[in-house]
Structure 1
Amino acid sequence: MPAGVTQAQVAERKVLEPDLLWLRLHAPDLAASLRPGQFVAVVDRQRLEPYLPTPIFPTHIAAEDLGALLRVGERERWLTTLPEGQPVQVTGPLGNGFALDGKARNILVVSEGMEGLPLLTLVQEAAARRL
């Protein structure tokens, strides 16, 4: 599916540590079209800052929701203040993502630190296919 702009709702927001956030967005059409490795860009047009969208790489994709575990820096700080139910503008899916073709029998995923969290969606898809 080509990238599009949609409204999503903050379904869940948990500040786990001062610099660690769990964010779950309710966006059924977007969640259905996301592939492992793709990302979305989130912005709250009711705010002046940040003006540019914040990229989010989902670590969990469900039927109607996408969730992400985020390291909070200056660019992501505004996400920690969003109340549940708050609408946000989401652009996506963005990026090429990963494709598991029918020939794949096994996969090896190697990563270090939080940068590897977006690979969880690939692992989840591989497990669902029993690879």
Structure 2
Amino acid sequence: MANVLVVDDSSTMREIVASFLSKNGFEVAVANDGRDGLFQLSNDPGIRLVISDVNMPNMDGLAMAKKIREEFSDRVVHIIMLTTEDNPAMRTRGKDIGVTGWIVKPFRGEAVLGPLRKLCEISGAAG
């Protein structure tokens, strides 16, 4: 059972983030777009943190975040956007949907490791 779900249409980015998190004690699942992310969430009730790109085919990260808030309201799931998008209006839209945080790529794992661990611990998952 995973406690973190990494959602990105770039297999390289998924691998970088998932590998870093795994090496630092997280149980990680991956998805290649928002639809796949929702599928993974529905099949793994242990996921407490979603780290997602915004721009993806089939279903983007913000649309997925909105669906998570609608369909999984009975679960504590934190959502972090990891994206090249640094548009204030897009960040506000994310916040209004229920996105927990926003990280602009490139991914610097060491800088966010502590806060990611806290999100998983606060949610009741080991990290």
Q: Same fold (TM over 0.5)?
A: no
Give the number of the structure whose alpha-carbon radius of gyration is greater. Answer: 1
TM-score, length-normalised on structure 1?
Answer: 0.26
More helix by share: 2
Q: Which has the higher strand share?
A: 1
